[in-house]
Structure formats: C-alpha cells, structure tokens
Copies of this chain bind each other. A is one copy, B any other.
Amino acid sequence: MSSFPMNAGDGPYSYSKNSPLAKEALNGAKRMVRDAIIQNLDIKIMLSSSSNIICIADFGCSVGPNTFIAMQHVVQALKDKYHNKILEFQVFFNDHVTNDFNTLFRSLPIDRSYYAFGVPGTFHGRLFPSRSIHFAHSINSIHWLSKCPEELLDEKSPAWNKGLIHYMGTSNVEVLNAYVAQFEKDMEMLLNARAEEIVEGGMMVLVTPFESYLRLIKFFGSSLMDLVNEGKLDEFLVDSFNLPMYFPSPEDMTKVVEKNGCFNIEKVELTYPKSKLVDEADAKTIMINLRAILEGVLSNHFGCKIAEEACTRTILKSDEISIWMKANYERSCQLFIALKRK
C-alpha cells in the first residue's frame, strides 16, 4: 500500500507552514461537526463507567496545526454536550507510518485539555481495538486512494490516461470507472475497520474536497506537459502517472455507506466554505499549499528534480492562475458526511 505524506518538517514548502486549504475546509466544517456531536452523538457506555473517558481519533491528521484546531473544537463540543459530567479525553492522531510524527508531537499545544497519542498506520485497516472509539474525524484525507488504480498503469488498457494526470478533463469513461472502483474498495476497507472500532451510537465525520482541488490540480498537469513538449520529460511518464485521489459525490458516499450497512447517515451535504481565502491569500499561497500536498506523490513517480521543476513552474504561473481562480473559485465546495454507528 502506498503512502504519500505531506512535505515534512517546518521548511518554506512544508505542510506545517502551508495548509490554508485545509484550514478553509476546517472552518467550513466547524459548525457542522459541532452540530453532529450535539444533536446526533449517542454514546451510552459513559453512563455505566466509573471513569468517563472519551476517545477521539483524527484519521489522516498530517503534522498540524490544523488537526490541533479541529480536535480542540471536537473536545469543546463534547464538553458542552456533557457539561454535567467530569470527562477525560484521549485524542489519537493517526496518519501513515511515513508521516512526520516527530514534528506533530513537538508542536502539540501545551495547554491542551486531552491526553495525546500518535497512531501510525493506514486508516484503510484496523488501528484500534473493538468498540474503543467514540468519535472519529477525518478531514481532507479520505479522497487519497490507497494506490493508483491498476488499470491506469497498463498502456494497453482502455483506461490508459494519455496526457493527463487525473480523471478530471478526460473524456474516457474507463478512466473514471477505474478511479470509482478503487475508491469503493478503499472505502469498504475503511468502513469495515471503523465499524469494528466505533462504539454503538458513536460517530464518524468525514469532510472531503469536492471541486476545489480538481480545479487546481490541472495546472500541475500542464506544467508536466510543458516539460514533455520541451523534450525534458518522457510523455510515457506523464501518461502512466495518475494522482491517487478521488473526490466522491454525495451519491458515491451514500452508496458505499449503505453497502457497508453498519452506519446510519445523519447528514450528507455539499457545503460552500464561507472563508474569504481568494480575497485574503493570493494564488501563490494556494499553489504553495498544493505543492506541499502534491510534491511527495510527484517525486515518487517523476523523481525529485522533475517534481520540483513542475511545482516551481506551476507557482510561477500564479498570475494566470489568479485570474482563473477569481472567475472560478467561488464554485469550490466540500462534502460533509456524518455517520452514526448502528
């Protein structure tokens, strides 16, 4: 199983310093996460236990600081809901074993009101004992596929994705189908694992980008094709590369959850983050953020030099991207889904 950690450390292109898109998603979901906890969470185990421990997990936490902000919101909502109880909180920060947990741990808030743990491993498999998690959270993570769909790696397959790095923009339905099939397999594994781990009445909230990323990724693809056209990169390498990301629709999510059968869907909604990111930050900031997200997966396929060249070129196109964004970015949105364990 592949893993593509965000850029590590705290350097100029590190994820820890460059995550306004995740912060935007976080702000967009803040109220909805709180409402889900206040209105839908229904954990009975607490009433019978002498020590009232609530276990929260953030799946695909990366290195912070957004995960700390998100977990503080969750803890506060739980405190407000159960204000007449004395609670203790355990927060489990999960990401791939290749994630930079050292940076995560060293930036944990000093004044946190929870016990903090790191959990290395893929969220497509089991990470916790049975019935041990009360609230699961995942933001901007489940759209990462566990691997590139295999059909896309075969030049002779009808799903060969010529000249593109993603299903966005293709007219080949086989390419899209391969992505959908991989997403469904991954979600089946994820839901099976969480169904074991989450207590009855416990919840899982998933937030995933719906349009925004799709629209900006293409600029990285066109930078790579520029390198092909200049004779600096073999086109086969671009054709055989496919970003392992699928942006599910509400219908996609409903389908996989219903197939799994262990969760009730409390809410599934496309939302428009209210932040003024486009006004406040320029295109360059956003493209540097995307670079922090994508450079790892690009380096893995193209090597560090080409990945860096493609990223640098994409950031240099900021003016062009800025004009495009002002015309298009308003329509970016995210998918919010709240599930309750039956």
Contact = CB atoms under 8 A, between A and B. Distances in A.
A106 interface: yes
Interface residues of A, number: 29
Interface stretch (A129-137, A242-250, A305-313): A129-137
B117 A117 contact: yes
A116 to B, nearest CB: 7
A337 to B, nearest CB: 26
Contact of A97 (B105, B121, B129, B132): B105
Given A51-B132, A53-B129, A88-B129, A118 B120 contact: yes
A89 B106 CA distance: 27
A106 B97 contact: yes
Given A129-B88, A130-B51, A117 B115 contact: no
Given A51-B130, A53-B129, A101-B105, 13 more contacts: A50-B131, A51-B129, A89-B129, A97-B105, A97-B106, A97-B108, A98-B106, A105-B118, A106-B120, A108-B120, A116-B119, A118-B118, A118-B120
Contacts of A92: 117
30 contacts: A50-B131, A51-B130, A51-B131, A51-B132, A53-B130, A53-B132, A89-B129, A90-B128, A90-B129, A90-B132, A92-B117, A97-B105, A97-B106, A98-B106, A100-B102, A101-B102, A101-B105, A102-B102, A105-B120, A108-B120, A115-B119, A115-B126, A115-B127, A115-B128, A116-B120, A116-B121, A117-B117, A117-B118, A117-B119, A118-B120
The 10 A-B residue pairs with the shortest CB-CB distance in the complex, in nearest-first order: A118-B118, A88-B129, A105-B120, A117-B117, A53-B129, A51-B131, A101-B101, A51-B130, A102-B102, A97-B105
Contacts of A132: 51, 53, 90
Contacts of A89: 129
Interface of A: 50-51, 53, 88-90, 92, 97-98, 100-102, 105-106, 108, 115-121, 126-132
Contacts of A53: 129-130, 132
Number of copies: 2
Contacts of A116: 119-121
Given A117-B117, A120-B116, A120-B118, A130 B88 contact: yes
Nearest to A114: B129
Q: Which of A92, A98, A102, A126: most chain B Cβ within 10 A?
A: A102
A116 B127 CA distance: 8
Contacts of A102: 100-102
A328 to B, nearest CB: 39
Nearest to A129: B88
Contacts of A90: 128-129, 132
